[in-house]
Amino acid sequence: MKIFQWRLIIIWTAVVFSIFYFINENPLDNTSFLSLEEKKLVSWQRIRMQVKYGRTKHLQAFKDMQRNSEPLKNVNSHILIGALPRKKKLLTIGISSVRRPQGSYLLDTLQSLFITSSLCEQKYFTVVVHLGDPDPKWLDKMISNISVLFKPHIQARQLVVINTPLKSYRPLKNLKKRVNDTPAYVVFRSKQNMDYAFLMNFATNYSDYFLMIEDDVKCAPEFVTQIVTTLSAWERKFWVTLEFSQLGFIGKLFHTRDLPYFVRFLLLFYQERPCDYLLSHFLDLQMQQKRIRFSPSLFQHMGSYSSFDGKFSTLKDKEFEEDDIGPPSNPAATIYTNLNVTNDSVLKNAYSLDRNFFYSKEAKAGSHLTVILDIPATVFRVQVLTGSNVKGVNQLKEGHVELGYDSTNLIHDCNDYIFLGMLVNGILNKQVLSEDSGKKVKCVRLLITATLPSGLIVRSINLWKI
């Protein structure tokens, strides 16, 4: 028993010494804005996690800190337009907007969001817009414009507009000033942090995931499907935030279960740094060791005039692909299939760039058509067209496409396939998102998941490579 007690004393002594050494000798370089007491608390939490849990998957590190912080007690965000969905959705898309002296981009952003998503995709998400400017004339104008332009989406409970009264905000006087920041800008970014926090706080319970975009972006086609595809690939991997744009606070995806923790973190340090910097610190404290960004980006910054008066922002995301990507490249490849190839049909027509097509009289569940590249390539877009171009018959309505990678130099197949996407109305047209943008594709497999009542036409499988 005495031996056990001595071991316990030695362990606790080492832990306490580690805390003070961690604070004094290596004082959290990437959280240098914290006060000494806050550093002690965060350091203690880090040491405790290392001793007890190793890498945590949740924000237990801030449990004690948040228990003593109650900044959300007086928050009373309310709905200006629309109604919340009756059932929990997969995704909430959040936008926070304030008045811009030179004009608003919000309506263009909303239009881009709904235009680039299909009717099927729109069933899975709700858009929540937080109007954070107290100017009553501006609020009335935006409410009127949104109500008229997006009436169908409002009636379908796909669009909700909210506002948070100024009395809910924390003090915006005597704020901490950093080097080269004017007092006016410190007030602006401090309030912006609270705008984002109130938006996320409102959106916590209505979906499984939350996507933050800004009010001056345009969206890539089928961005929702591409996010869902990425989520399926990352279902069993640890992540706090997945990023679908490399700019600012655009295209950041969270689990909604983590939002309360990040909301409190924003409100705790609202006057210290802009929100995108705070996110970096938050990820570090949550033990996400690196930013998880996907390429190409799904959102592009389109604004020129900043929300902060007199400031311009011409940043563009170089990883965002504009609509004009040119013709497909279709590098040299061999095609294999277990479909019944008739005498009057040519298999290679499924991969040709002309108007010829491949036809099979029957297509059973489990059948495939696989393109195997002679030289693996970095593919950034895949298009599959099935069915008659004129009458729309012989479409593959139940099937999907997989990308294959090879580490064992197989000749006629790949040993590692990942799901890319399902065909919708006989068509797939998708950007390829990959954690490792340099990973080369060797195989593209079209898989039939339900037997067709009649024959199958594959007009073309098109690839775009870097």
* Residue-wise pLDDT tens digits, 338-354: 998 876 678 899 998 88
pLDDT at 158 over 80: yes
Q: Identify the domain containing residue 123 by its residue range.
A: 78-301
Answer whether residue 276 is part of any domain.
yes
Same domain? 293 vs 384: no
Answer whether residue 56 is part of any domain.
no
Same domain? 124 vs 269: yes
Same domain? 286 vs 346: no
Q: Mean of the per-residue pLDDT values for the chain?
A: 79
Which of 301, 325, 346 lies at the terminal end of a domain, its last residue? 301
Answer whether residue 350 is part of any domain.
yes
CA–CA distances in Å: residue 212 to residues 37, 126, 322: 31, 12, 21
Mean pLDDT, residues 227-237: 87
Answer whether residue 313 is part of any domain.
no
Per the model's pLDDT, the better-predicted residue between 74 and 219 turns out to be 219
Answer whether residue 58 is part of any domain.
no
Per the model's pLDDT, the better-predicted residue between 287 and 323 turns out to be 287
Answer whether residue 8 is part of any domain.
no
Same domain? 290 vs 390: no
Domain count of the chain?
A: 2
Q: Cα–Cα distance between 177 and 208 in angstroms, integer?
A: 37
Which of 252, 283, 301 lies at the terminal end of a domain, its last residue? 301
CATH number of residue 421's parent domain: 2.60.120.260
Enumerate residues 6+ apart whose C-beta is below 8 A from 410: none
Per the model's pLDDT, the better-predicted residue between 249 and 94 turns out to be 94
Same domain? 168 vs 269: yes
Answer whether residue 67 is part of any domain.
no
Answer whether residue 179 is part of any domain.
yes
CATH number of residue 120's parent domain: 3.90.550.10
Same domain? 160 vs 285: yes
| Percentage of the chain modeled with pLDDT above 70 | 76
The DSSP result for 14-67, as a single string, is HHHHHHHHHHHHS--GGGTTS-HHHHHHHHHHHHHHHHHTSS-SS-GGGHHHHH
Q: Tell me which of 62-71, 159-168, 283-292, 412-421 is least confident.
A: 62-71
The residues pairing with 242 across neighbouring beta strands, listed in sequence order, are 253, 292
Same domain? 146 vs 205: yes
Same domain? 170 vs 244: yes
Same domain? 137 vs 280: yes
The pLDDT assigned to 149 comes to: 86
Which of 301, 325, 348 lies at the terminal end of a domain, its last residue? 301
